Amino acid sequence: MDSRGTPTVRLDAVNGNALFEKAVRSIALDEATTRWLFVSVLDTIGATAAKLTADELGNLLPELDRRLRKLVPETAAEAAVQRLRRVLFDQAASATPTSD
């Protein structure tokens, strides 16, 4: 159990919405570690993997970047954050209505 009395769940068992899953895959690092990183950052603002929004992900980019730079070499962190930004740009592009 964690400090809030919630049963501890294996992080690789945490499933999120499509945006969360794309974001995790985009980092292209160990999946369990990436899920742990995302869940811990989401927790800081009370967000969840199942309901992650593009706005929340965008707001959390600086913190994700900071934490990634502590986990992996700077060049790997930079590349991972660039891929994550691409996910956000693609999300925004698909959400923008097109005029025919």
Confidence category of residue 13, pLDDT binned at 50, 70, 90: low
What is the average pLDDT score of the chain? Answer: 87
What local confidence, expressed as pLDDT, does residue 92 receive? Answer: 83
Query: CB within 8 A of 58, min separation 6: which ones?
Result: 88
Assess whether pLDDT exceeds 80 at residue 72: yes
What share of the chain has pLDDT > 90, as a percent? 68
Neighbours of 37 (CB within 10 A): 21
Residue 7 — φ and ψ, nearest 5°?
Answer: -60, 140
Rounded mean pLDDT, 5-11: 57
The pTM assigned to this predicted structure is 0.80
What local confidence, expressed as pLDDT, does residue 94 receive? Answer: 84
Rounded mean pLDDT, 18-22: 94
